[in-house]
Structure 1
Amino acid sequence: MLALSIAGFDPSGGAGILADIKTFSALGVYGAGVITALTAQNVGRVSGIMPVPPGFVKEQLDLVMEDLPVVHAKTGMLYSAEIVEAVAEKVREYGLRVIVDPVMVAASGGELSEGNFVRALRRHLLPEALIVTPNVAEAERLSDVPIGTVDDAIRAARVIGELCDVIITGGHLGGRSVIQIDGDVEVLEGELLDSRNTHGSGCSFSAATAAYLERGLDLGEALRMADSFVREAIRHGHHGTLNQFWMHSRYPD
């Protein structure tokens, strides 16, 4: 079993491609990675971003696919419209079942996208996606629907759902998530954890979804298992980040 992350590099190890690979490994799935951007960041702030040229993103993808029979992939920080288009081209070419984590803004407030990024997502990548996994702020940008309540999130999910299936994750909805799969909307109830160890939670959720799909679960089951996995990873987290290996051991103090 294997899965692919197409994402940015967080040198603190809490988010981005390193969080994805940890999540794949914790769930028994071999992880490959294509880097879309280098960042200078830690749990508290982002001070710089160096995007990878789109042609080199495509070259990385081609070489991975030449060697590995990848079926399930996830995207994280893509940063620019040009990188979005490059990734969408390769998703189509290789028929990847892709989970899109539409990373736009860091939890610390820094912008992680530029230019016509949202337009490119809507036009090029979401129509190729199996599902998109925005948080509330990202769902607002994708749908142009202000979200203050679960009912608002349902309306936003219906708009986004015209392009692909969607789950609006629940950190800002009192722990609840809104799922739309094949036109059917469901509210997934969940506990809102009082924890600061949330850096990388969105990355880990989308990566866990890809891993559970690779393990043979259907999409609804994969989303529920990913939600449970991330909650426990937050519960057992350390240094502001998740502990993806909570099933095996805790981080030392």
Structure 2
Amino acid sequence: MPTTRPYALSIAGFDPSAGAGLLADCKTLEAHGVYGLGVCTALTVQNDITFERVNWVPLADIQDQIGLLLERFPVDYIKIGLFESLAKLLELLRWLRQLRPAACIVWDPVLKATAGYEFHQHPDWKLVLKLLAECTLITPNLPEMLRLWPATSAEAAAADAAMFCPVLLKGGHGSGHEAVDTLFFDGENYHFTQPRLPHGEKHGSGCVLSAAVLAQLALGNSLPDACRLGKHYTTTFLASNDTLLGYHSLPLSPPYADQ
């Protein structure tokens, strides 16, 4: 067993229920044997079913948190979640690229809280295009993809956006007996299929998936393998209990085979 762990950084909001955001990311990273560092972008007043309000952390304070961490730790894997504005996110991404030009940056575009709170109502797709140029991977769900990129379907939007940045399109909002995530990468489509579980809805499942993919990348896996293994982990998380707050653990082997 290795005696040291790779570092990964989550830049995300603080959810007091620990189901989503910064705490969920760090729990996911820990379960994978990756040391999770955390920078807070927002303090939210919420639980697993109710979102009341958010207090944003100023960009300068976010940068100060990150800068001090990067001075000490060799961080090459970064995930970004909830952020106050896409314009400020672009500023942060360009600043990060100056500090870590070769870093793997995964953006999970949190546009709306599960409880219905809107963070970014009408994203400017031209601004989104600039964001894509700074990212290694984005992980939108079906509704988020349609809001980020104008197209007739989420799949068409993801295919177009993938010309500028790989896209893992999360299929949890779809229908049918199977949940299919699709990676649009390097001109290919990779499909990752798991059964749609009864009582499988979980607060923060999108955060968990993107953090699991980041962990697998930090462990040295290719992007398609990282997405496949991240999907396995998330399915285990969804199946862990019948509540809206899942349990984190990494099994010795995935419990569900790709279909």
**Identity percentage of aligned residues:** 34
Check 1:164–1:225 CA distance in 2 against 1; reply closer, same or farther (3 A cut).
same
Segment drifting more, 60-69 vs 188-197: 188-197
State the TM-score, normalizing by the size of structure 2: 0.87
- In structure 2, C-alpha distance between the alignment counterparts of 1:127 and 1:190, rounded to whole Å: 31
- Give ranges in structure 1 of 5+ residues lacking alignment: 147-151, 249-253
Deviation at 1:91, TM superposition (A): 2.5
- In structure 1, C-alpha distance between the alignment counterparts of 2:129 and 2:243, rounded to whole Å: 35
1:128 match: 134
Deviation at 1:140, TM superposition (A): 0.5
- In structure 2, C-alpha distance between the alignment counterparts of 1:64 and 1:117, rounded to whole Å: 31
2:170 match: 169
Secondary structure at 1:170's aligned position in 2?
coil
2:244 match: 240
Deviation at 1:197, TM superposition (A): 4.2
- In structure 2, C-alpha distance between the alignment counterparts of 1:83 and 1:27, rounded to whole Å: 30
Q: Does 1:138 align with 2:144?
A: yes
Deviation at 1:87, TM superposition (A): 2.1
Letter in 1 for 2:29: F
Conserved 8 A contact 2:13-2:43:
yes
Conserved 8 A contact 1:81-1:120:
yes
Conserved 8 A contact 2:32-2:250:
no
1:35 match: 40
**Equivalent residue in structure 2 for 1:53, among 44, 50, 58:** 58
Letter in 1 for 2:83: L
Check 1:244–1:90 CA distance in 2 against 1; reply closer, same or farther (3 A cut).
farther
Q: Does 1:23 align with 2:22?
A: no
Paired positions, count: 242
Deviation at 1:109, TM superposition (A): 1.3
Q: Does 1:79 align with 2:84?
A: yes
Deviation at 1:130, TM superposition (A): 1.0
- Give ranges in structure 2 of 5+ residues lacking alignment: 1-5, 253-259
State the TM-score, normalizing by the size of structure 1: 0.89
- In structure 1, C-alpha distance between the alignment counterparts of 2:154 and 2:122, rounded to whole Å: 25
1:91 match: 96
Conserved 8 A contact 1:12-1:43:
yes
1:221 match: 225
Secondary structure at 1:108's aligned position in 2?
coil
Q: RMSD between aligned alpha carbons?
A: 1.9
Deviation at 1:144, TM superposition (A): 1.7
2:3 match: none
1:184 match: 188
Q: Does 1:109 align with 2:116?
A: yes
2:213 match: 209
Conserved 8 A contact 2:200-2:239:
no
Which protein is richer in helix relative to its size? 1
Conserved 8 A contact 2:122-2:147:
no
Conserved 8 A contact 2:172-2:180:
yes
